[in-house]
Amino acid sequence: MDDVTVDAVLEALRRLPPTVRKTPLLPSSTLSRISGGEVLLKAENLQHTGSFKIRGASNKIGALREQGAVAGVISASAGNHAQGLAVAARAHGIPATIVMPRAAAIAKVEATRDYGAEVVLHGDSYEQAYAEATRLAAERKLTIIPPYDDHQIIAGQGTVAVEIASELRDAGVILVPVGGGGLAAGVGVAIKAYMPQARVIGVQVEAAPGLRASLDAGARTAVTTQPTIADGVAVAAPGEITFPILQRVLDDVVIVGEDDVAQAMVLLLERSKLVVEGAGALGAAALMTGKVDVAGKKTVVILSGGNVDINMLARVVEHGLMQAGRYYSLTVGLEDKPGQLAVLSKLLSDVGANVMSVSHQRFGIGLPVGRVQVALLLEVRNRAHAQEVDAALASHGFARGGEGMPQFVPASWNEEVRSGE
């Protein structure tokens, strides 16, 4: 196979086992209001194993079975591909071996084992895990299943777009996350066949803009990736097979930042009740930041996965709320005597701010004996509400503190400094 065609995508759809779900297309009134378009979410985060990856793996194994007996399959992965391949292999009754870096998340390791795969922990990086997978493949006569740079894998991922087209033929924009490019390539091929009027826009994170760099250079170009919460797309360059397809089927590629992704994850969780991993939230981030003009257009955002570690999710939510202006941290200077904290608490309560945490700091803060600094984390509605908090403090005799002081202090403290006391 020299290229991926829509016929190959339809053949992949025929091969998908019942374990692969047809995921819903969900309207999002919040993203529609923000973007000015009619936004629908293709919820691949609700897919079996929590990711679209099971589609490509199922098609690849199905094609191999049609060609003859398969002793077993193997791959290297630390995430979604591992789980998708494990389930796809089990559905076809084929043993699967997954080599994962020793530092892979315990939850992902155990999930892959629970899906029936043999997990081999090896190396400190994906590259070392892949080298071991290649060695084991030769030793055990196993077939390597690549994560994205393979014709059948690409065709399998394209079944996402066939499902979209079966429900919606008048879409104007399709937003798809891009790492190595398997999903974007397959989706682009199918969308251009069924909805040639639709613009297919790839979205990358600024920590791993390999495709954007390659398109700008006119050739595959590897970038140095940085740590990112969108680790599912942290790939240095598009694949040798995916790149020419992406050049043909994508209308544009836009870049979003880390904070954009965090805020998109929070919005999807809070407003759409969907747990979406960083890579899966790229399209939503592009809409929230206005990177793509979809005003007046039906727009599909592909949420490619939902496999996010619960501890990471908690940190992302806190960070996203802070960046969105929903958390407000500040320090206030008070006289160190009874009742002062109660006065401050009532002031904050009256303005509608919720105190998330509070701590007294008496030592190491540069204030004289008899005065304390109170560090507060407040939950507020938005940045305008945070400004209301500032105004309430000002109306109750607090002023911005000078150098070395808390952010807000009784106005008399500043007078003391000016008078040299």
Please report, for residues 157, 192, 199, 201, the alpha-carbon distance to residue 292 in angstroms, rounded to integers and kept in the order given.
23, 19, 11, 8
- For residues 400 and 417, what is the distance between their CA atoms, to the nearest angstrom? 13
3 state SS for 189-222? HHHHHHCCCCEEEEEEECCCCHHHHHHHHCCCCC
304 counts as catalytic = yes
Strand partners, 143: 73
Could you tell me where the beta strands, DSSP code E, fall in 258-326? Answer: 298-303
Q: 247 with 188: CB under 8 angstroms?
A: no
**Candidate list 53, 60, 108, 298, residue with the active-site label:** 53
Which of these is catalytic: 58, 214, 272, 304? 304
Burial of 81 (0-12, 13-18, 19+ CB in 10 A): buried
Structure tokens at 162: 């066939």
Q: Parallel, antiparallel, or unpaired for β 298-303 and 38-43?
A: parallel
Of 13, 396, 342, give the one whose Cα is nearest residue 194. Answer: 13
List C-alpha distances in Å: 114 to 74, 90, 137: 16, 11, 22
Distances in Å between the Cα of 254 and the Cα atoms of 22, 51, 286, 290, 323 are 28, 22, 8, 10, 21
Q: What is the distance, to the nearest Å, from the Cα of residue 184 to the centroid of all Cα atoms in its chain?
A: 16
Question: Do 277 and 261 form a contact (C-beta atoms < 8 A)?
Answer: no
Asked whether 98 and 112 are in contact (CB, 8 A), the reply is yes
In angstroms, the CA 324 to CA 194 distance is: 38
Alpha-carbon span 237 to 281, nearest angstrom: 20
User: Is 29 a catalytic site residue?
Assistant: no
And the tokens for 403? 């150098």
Burial environment of residue 388 by CB neighbours within 10 A (0 to 12, 13 to 18, 19 or more): middle
57: alpha, beta or left, given left = phi > 0 and alpha = psi -120 to 50? Answer: alpha
Which neighbouring-strand residues pair with 62? Answer: none
List active site positions.
Answer: 53, 304
